[in-house]
Chains A and B, each alone.
Chain A
Amino acid sequence: MSQTTHPPASTLADGNPTAAVRHDKSLLHHLQHNLREYGMLITLVAIMGFFQYMTEGTLMQPLNLTNLVLQNSYIVIMALGMLLVIVAGHIDLSVGSVCGFIGALAAVLMVEYNWHFVPATLVCLLCGGLIGAIQGSFVAFSRIPSFIVTLAGMLVFKGLALALLAGQSVGPFPSAFQMLSSGFIPDLFSVEGLRLTSLLLGAAVAAALAVGGLRQRANRLRHGVQTEPAGLFVARTVVFGGLLVYFSYLLASYKGLPNVLIVMALLIVLFDFVTSRTTIGRRIYAMGGNEKAAKLSGIKTERLTLYAFINMGVLAALAGLVFAARLNTATPKAGLGFELDVIAACFIGGASASGGVGKVMGAVIGAFVMGVMNNGMSILGIGIDYQQVIKGVVLLAAVLVDVYNKNKA
């Protein structure tokens, strides 16, 4: 096999007389193919631009940007798990309640029983996994629709959280635990007014992503896989990398990168990898796309469903910890309605309610679309009443665009 074949040669080699024509069309073709992803990103940028203008620059101020990250971290974390559940063809309505319940559990362990935060955190995550396993096994093995199982779970854990806290707010947490949400990565340099470590880390990640993208692209070309045109690739990498560096600069000029941003970023990378590159991710998509075909291809669909729910439970627990650490207290109302934001993030991000479709990056962008709107509208002083209305309309509009595109294709 010739390892160094150039892309035009390989398209000609498959004997297709229209190869030359196709090459001309490839930019358009590629854009059409990936309209959804670019569209999402453009939407997010447009919304940010809109609020940046409307709030006269408040949105992108370092302090506010930091808040934006902190406010949305738990939604993003849960959206990662929810995306898998939705792709698998299910839904989880209990995540808000689980989030609140785990926060309550953490408060009881750390505040009332004075546990060290490490074992307490581990027990909380384990407990989240167990909750996911119980709900998941009802869905997978007893074949009860996930909507019903998790609706029940929503009530159960909301009630248990109330019971655990005896209706009171419990806090404050040990300061080491608070660092999870309110801490920033330590700065190694002492530059006036700038956390250089954070900026450098941001730049390093941007560089790593660029190199990774380049290598993947080279790999695809070597195997003759159709890939995006070079110009687009360069433009995308430069714009994306530039934005990354710019945001780290903004954050660095305040207190630096929040710890929770690092956790979130690592999870995003992990889940993007799992969904797009591993066999288990592939099997979840196959199961959501056509369960019968997946079964007849030897895929153990029950077990996969269980895994998706366990994963969701652990992430909901993590989100609960982050949220509790941020408020520095566990309240019976914590987690109320989170499930709706999380599910909305996935659908805005292009996931399909019937399963099999959806991307991690889409869900993340969807979560930030919701987050920026929340934040921007709050700054503008729009009441909570109309905020809800606008968010609802945006959700419907995003899915409408999806359905329209699908029917046209």
Chain B
Amino acid sequence: MVRERPLTLTFFAVVETILAIVELNIGTLLLTIGNPLPTAFPNLNVFLIGIILLATGILALLTAYYLWSNEALGWVLASVFLATDAITRILLPIMLGMQWIIFAVFLEVDIAILYYLTRPSIMTFFGGEDIRGVLQKLKIEMEPRMKELRFTMKLVRKTPLSIIGASIVMFYVSMAVFAPFLAAPGHISQGGNPEMMPKEGASLIPRAPSPAHPFGTMQGQYDIYYGCIWGARSALRIGLYVAGGSLLIGLAIGIVAAYYGGWLDEVLMRFTDIILAFPGLILCMALVVVLVPMGIERLDAVMIALVIVGWPGYSRLIRGEILRIKNEDYVEAAKSVGCSDLRVIRSHILPNSIYPVLIVFTLDLGTVVLAAAALSFLGLGASPGYADWGQIIALSLNWIYGPPSNPFQYWYTFIMPGIFISLFVLGWNLLGDALRDILDPTLRRK
């Protein structure tokens, strides 16, 4: 049945696409190069705006995708994404002040499209007579997935370790989100940058915990409590950036290598061989030592190095998985009915090969932070004073031994940050291990 596409729908799809591209670009720009107009907006919270813009951008992209598509459920999904998008957009003026109401212009667009989508003619275009009919279709179409999801949730409930892991991770996420309330920034020594630890005085000798400094102060009088709390932000960011970057690069290269094969596969895999020929952390050291004199900020250099070292693992993993299922009948069938390469990969190969990669990704979110902390400990981490667990431990190296009368006098300089980092990695490890048992199709039904 050929359905005639309403012109307004195409128009809205174009608008939403442009919106998505603009937001994604500005978001990435803010997150990668920082404040673009430091003189005009000195107090811009670049990180927050960047994250929100990325989120709205991705939602807008999804909306646009379903606005373009003629799928039966297109308008339901488009409406859901639009609504979420609108809610996310409202966050900006609420969190940053009313001058950001400018983003409300985009909000108007969202509401206009949303209003348009509720019209009966649109619903008939997407194939439903009314909302109830479409919801019925949605229910039938989603039933197997819902069943699978319910089964997964049942397995999750039966694995206590996964719940512990998830709660540890949630604990750190909320610590990162609420860091400004748990440890208020704004001390004069921070120079307006909440990522730096406040310091009072310059005395080298650490001071024991006191009401003002619950975990004490470390060498140089940096507040350990502040560093531990804000370190959660830096750890999550390092984990997301590094593991996410490795995942994206690794997936792209691994998929291309496995799907097209031949000399391309050979070249790409020999290149991963070369990187895997080095012990990871040692190659990271070498890369950072070269990247820093090139003028790259220290923490960025560490993250770039970790991505360079990290992606080959993902490539190899996804490649192996794809080679395993590449010649399965359903892939051949999809090809034979004329599906494009992209479609075969997206809807047939990836869903069947992605789980092991996602498990490694979960584990990596923790181990990457551990590696960054180790580099930080070796003196290659963030710049001095940056709230980062590895750095706090590195600075405690001079304070392992107290005076003979009280050998454990400076225990607080290393015990606290150590517990923070170990728990963080433990949380991701437990979660990843549990996911392995839950998602692995060969273990799942046993």
Partners in one complex: no
B residues whose Cβ falls under 8 Å from a Cβ of A: none
